[in-house]
């Protein structure tokens, strides 16, 4: 049976990933910060194994990797992320918040991917996916603003592209995806697509990846995106 590990699985895109993969018979390793009160996650039927994980805590990451040391993970999805404070500009910049967002959105995907590389390498599918954003595309930034979130996603694209080429010997496919503007707590009700549409597209695109795509950046529908 195929196995997927999803960070930030208790809400939004992560919750829908969990729901869809479980419905298709996958084993889901679902992580969230509070496994005692995971909300809707606890009501999803299927082979779902919930683990507590703060993706910014190296000790927790290492402990979970050790606990799962004999498990193969076909697809690792770095989904956990935060937007940070909104409407922050050069006159009221919150540099501590910026540091916190970089920690979660940029450093943690590498932390998780590095800790679980052996789990992925011994699987059949061997894929590591990071949920990025089109707001991390430098060439697509024609409106400015949102320094904190934009920079964290531009940075994670570069980090994971470097990581992809650093692990060529493992033949793992590493890719970054923009999930679309999705109706979640982060995206808001005015967003253009619902979470089911986003995740269905993402899953189809992920399934179609092969090692020649490693280090690439895609839209949820599989369309390549510019850096």
Domain positions in the chain: 3-219
Provide the residue count of the chain: 227
- pLDDT confidence of residue 141: 95
Question: Mean pLDDT, to the nearest integer, of 154-162?
Answer: 98
Q: Which of 168, 25, 130, 147 is nearest to 95 (CA)?
A: 147
The b/e string for 47-57 (b: 16+ C-beta within 10 A; e otherwise) is ebebbebbbbe
Q: Name the E strands within 18-106.
A: 27-32, 48-52, 75-78
> Is the Cβ–Cβ distance between 204 and 18 less than 8 Å?
no
Classify each residue of 150-159 as buried b or exposed e, where b means 16 or more C-beta atoms within 10 Å of its C-beta.
bbbbbbbbeb
User: Over pLDDT 90: what percentage of the chain?
Assistant: 89
Tell if the pTM clears 0.75, that is, is over it: yes
pLDDT digit string (tens) for 95-105? 999 999 999 99
Mean pLDDT, residues 5-25 taken together: 97
| Position 186 pLDDT exceeds 70 | no
Mean pLDDT of 56-75: 97
Residue 77 phi, psi dihedral angles, 5° rounding: -115, 110
Mean pLDDT of the chain: 95
Instruction: For residue 192, count other CB atoms closer than 10 A to its CB.
Output: 11
Of residues 177 and 37, more confidence is placed in 177
Average pLDDT over residues 201-223: 97
**Strands, E, within the chain: which ranges?**
3-6, 27-32, 48-52, 75-78, 127-131, 173-178, 216-219
**183 and 195 Cβ atoms separated by less than 8 Å:** yes
Show the tokens assigned to 92.
Answer: 């009221």
Judge whether residue 202 has pLDDT over 70: yes
- Domain 3-219 sits in CATH at 3.40.50.720
Q: In 10 A of CB 166, how many CB atoms?
A: 12
* Residue 165 to residue 167: CA distance in whole angstroms: 5
- Provide the pLDDT for residue 187: 67
**Contact between 221 and 205 (Cβ < 8 Å):** yes
Work out the angle between the directed axes of helices 147-166 and 108-115 (0-180°, nearest 10). 30
Q: What is the pLDDT of residue 184?
A: 72
Give the per-residue pLDDT at 137.
Answer: 98
């Amino acid at each position: 049976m195929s196995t997927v590990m999803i960070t930030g699985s208790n809400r939004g895109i992560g919750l829908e990933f969990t729901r869809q993969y479980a419905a298709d018979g996958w084993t889901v390793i679902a992580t969230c910060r509070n496994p005692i009160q995971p909300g809707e996650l606890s009501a999803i039927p299927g082979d779902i194994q919930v683990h507590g994980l703060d993706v910014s805590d190296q000790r927790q990451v290492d402990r979970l990797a050790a606990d799962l040391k004999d498990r193969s993970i076909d697809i690792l999805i770095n989904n956990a992320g935060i937007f940070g404070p909104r409407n922050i500009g050069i006159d009221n910049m919150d540099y501590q918040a910026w540091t916190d967002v970089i920690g979660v959105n940029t450093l943690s995907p590498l932390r998780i991917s590095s800790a679980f590389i052996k789990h992925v390498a011994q699987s059949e599918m061997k894929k590591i996916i990071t949920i990025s954003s089109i707001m991390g595309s430098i060439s697509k930034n024609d409106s400015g603003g949102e320094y904190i979130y934009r920079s964290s996603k531009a940075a994670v694209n570069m980090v994971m592209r470097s990581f992809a080429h650093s692990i060529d010997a493992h033949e793992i496919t590493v890719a970054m995806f923009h999930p679309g503007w999705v109706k979640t707590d982060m995206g808001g009700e005015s967003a253009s697509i619902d979470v089911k549409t986003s995740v269905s597209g993402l899953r189809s695109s992920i399934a179609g990846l092969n090692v020649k795509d490693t280090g690439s950046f895609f839209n949820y529908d599989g369309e390549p995106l510019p850096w």
